[in-house]
């Protein structure tokens, strides 16, 4: 797939040549090469790689599945799905939680790691934030279409109306509407603010009139003024500071959707931290899945080095262990609490009709990620890609295991089975198509990495400021 190497980088990067001491920027980069390497893709100077077309066309094809799935659903109603008594939360909710969890790693990278002075975040934050936005878009579809009458979705929000009715503010489902919409809005603002100086670069170096106009409008007349930068950095820092507790609150509220109910094994205090750890785990798997193609197709190996993959893999391993602890804790609490219902539900989960999904979850989320302890699996892209894929499957099954818990109630007469239908799968894989399509368009038309922050990361001798100093500069 590596058909294209980025132009204007001089000699091809050798493995032992780095611009900085921390081995985060390969080759000999300067302010100019950084801008050209990232910006030329947007300006159409780099021929579109074959891999991009495969990703875009695959995504666009799957997007049609989403359209068909939604049309079918809207025409006939949620009866086309597999949901029925006793399982009213089917794969739509699994997909919702799966997507929104993936989104959280983007915020972690851009906000939390910024506050922690992690320089390596700089190569990843832009595309990880885009991943967040697109994942939240995909996530947002599912609760809406799950309502049965999605055209009344605005009833979730408080507004004076002639029915004199208001939302029920004590319900986590109502909190969810606020949490997810706030999360999307704040992520969008953070992403756009970060893009403004990069748009200014693209405006000033556009090759065609149309690029100049479009990027010029998006840049809003940014001219790199020191006064503007001062405010900009303060805003950037404060948005990171707000984004950090926001991401925790969002997934905590998502877990409240389950935990505030009184279903055995859902009604657990471990749920909020367990969900947040799982979200970051899944999100880093997706970051790895996106970083590897970007490295290959667009020759970004100098800017996303092996060290970045290594660190992402380690975070995935660490959060994976937290998630595994969550599985252990669930079983332990069920046993230790001596609650008949908790323990019986645990046994049903492990050895009942859906026991296979529980053990698949343990295999893909707990056992396979242990391979990352070996350096070979952190540094070899192909192997790391496979392990990340295992995490994607595992995190999907984690939520699946949670919802099929509903098949076994307190009263055996109300037990049932659940299986998704074709209509479920159309929407599920269709949402993946939406994500791939949006991400492919992002790769082509917007700077995949932050040009501004990468320049700042350059060492002094290469014209930079030796790392993002937002904590010191933001006043």
* C-beta of 34 vs 313, nearer to other proteins: 34
Q: Is 472 in the site for other proteins (CB under 8 A)?
A: yes
Q: In sequence order, what DSSP letters do the residues of 309-359 get, joined into one string?
A: HHHHHHHHHHHHHHHHHHHHHHHHHHHHTT-HHHHHHHHHHHHSTTHHHHH
Copy the structure tokens of residue 385: 């890609």
Rg value, the chain, Cα: 23
Cα 102 from chain centroid?
Answer: 3
Please state, in angstroms and as integers, the Cα–Cα distance from residue 124 to each residue in 27, 288, 293, 348, 449, following that order. Answer: 18, 10, 13, 42, 7
Q: Is 31 in the site for other proteins (CB under 8 A)?
A: yes
Q: Is 222 in the site for other proteins (CB under 8 A)?
A: yes
Q: Is 8 in the site for other proteins (CB under 8 A)?
A: no
CB 440 within 8 A of CB 59: yes
Eight-state DSSP code of residue 366: I
Q: Is 246 in the site for other proteins (CB under 8 A)?
A: yes
Alpha helices (runs of H) in 85-208, residue ranges in sequence order: 91-107, 113-115, 125-146, 172-204
Q: Is 2 in the site for other proteins (CB under 8 A)?
A: no
Q: Is 159 in the site for other proteins (CB under 8 A)?
A: no
Give the range of 10-18, 220-228, 298-306, 310-318 binding other proteins by CB under 8 A.
220-228
Closest CA to 129 of 243, 295, 6, 253: 243
CB of 462 to other proteins, least distance (A): 10
Closest CA to 280 of 310, 240, 244, 242: 244
Q: Is 440 in the site for other proteins (CB under 8 A)?
A: no
With CB under 8 A as the contact rule, the residue among 22, 23, 28, 30 that binds other proteins is 30
- What is the 3 state secondary structure string of 374-392? CHHHHHCHHHHHHHHHHHH
**179-218 footprint of other proteins as x/- string (CB under 8 A):** x--x--xx--xx-xx---x--xx-xxx----------xx-
Give the range of 118-126, 178-186, 277-285, 350-358 binding other proteins by CB under 8 A.
178-186
With CB under 8 A as the contact rule, the residue among 115, 144, 147, 235 that binds other proteins is 235
* C-beta of 303 vs 428, nearer to other proteins: 303
Can you give the binding site for other proteins, defined by CB under 8 A? Answer: 30-32, 35, 158, 164-172, 174-175, 178-179, 182, 185-186, 189-190, 192-193, 197, 200-201, 203-205, 216-217, 220-235, 238-239, 242, 245-246, 249, 253, 256, 452-453, 455-456, 463-465, 469-470, 472-473, 475
């Amino acid at each position: 797939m590596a058909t294209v190497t980025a132009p204007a980088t001089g000699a091809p990067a050798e493995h032992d040549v780095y611009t900085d001491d921390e081995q985060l920027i390969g080759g000999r980069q300067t302010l100019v090469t950084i801008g050209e390497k990232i910006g030329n893709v947007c300006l159409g100077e780099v021929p579109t790689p074959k891999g991009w077309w495969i990703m875009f066309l695959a995504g666009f094809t799957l997007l049609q599945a989403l359209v068909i799935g939604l049309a079918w659903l809207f025409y006939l109603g949620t009866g086309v799905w597999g949901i029925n008594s006793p399982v009213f939360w089917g794969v739509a909710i699994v997909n919702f939680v799966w997507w929104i969890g993936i989104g959280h790693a983007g915020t972690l990278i851009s906000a939390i790691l910024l506050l922690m002075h992690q320089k390596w975040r700089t190569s990843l934050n832009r595309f990880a934030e885009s991943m967040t936005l697109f994942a939240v878009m995909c996530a947002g579809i599912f609760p809406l279409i799950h309502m049965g009458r999605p055209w009344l979705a605005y009833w979730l929000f408080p507004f004076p109306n002639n029915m004199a009715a208001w939302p029920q503010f004590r319900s986590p489902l109502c909190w969810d509407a606020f949490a997810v919409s706030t999360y999307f809005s704040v992520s969008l603002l953070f992403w756009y603010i970060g893009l403004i100086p990069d748009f200014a670069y693209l405006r000033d170096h556009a090759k065609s009139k149309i690029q100049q106009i479009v990027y010029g409008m998006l840049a809003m007349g940014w001219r790199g003024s020191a006064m503007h930068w001062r405010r900009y950095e303060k805003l950037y820092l404060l948005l990171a500071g707000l984004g950090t507790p926001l991401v925790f609150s969002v997934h905590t509220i998502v877990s409240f959707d389950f935990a505030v109910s009184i279903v055995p094994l859902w009604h657990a205090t471990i749920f909020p931290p367990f969900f947040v750890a799982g979200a970051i785990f899944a999100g880093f798997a997706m970051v790895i899945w996106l970083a590897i193609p970007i490295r290959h197709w667009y020759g970004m190996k100098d800017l996303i080095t092996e060290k970045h993959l290594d660190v992402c893999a380690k975070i995935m391993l660490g959060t994976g262990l937290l998630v595994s602890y969550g599985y252990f804790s669930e079983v332990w609490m069920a046993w230790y609490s001596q609650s008949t219902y908790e323990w019986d539900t645990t046994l049903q989960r492990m050895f009942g009709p859906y026991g296979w999904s529980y053990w698949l979850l343990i295999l893909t989320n707990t056992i396979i990620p242990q391979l990352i302890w070996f350096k070979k699996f952190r540094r070899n892209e192909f192997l790391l890609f496979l392990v990340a894929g295992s995490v994607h499957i595992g995190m999907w099954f984690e939520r699946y295991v949670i919802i099929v818990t509903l098949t076994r109630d307190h009263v055996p007469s109300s037990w049932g089975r659940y299986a998704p239908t074709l209509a479920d799968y159309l929407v599920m894989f269709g949402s993946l198509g939406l994500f791939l399509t949006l991400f492919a368009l992002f790769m082509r038309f917007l700077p995949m990495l932050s040009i501004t922050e990468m320049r700042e990361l350059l060492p002094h001798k290469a014209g930079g400021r030796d790392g993002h100093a937002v904590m010191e500069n933001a006043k």
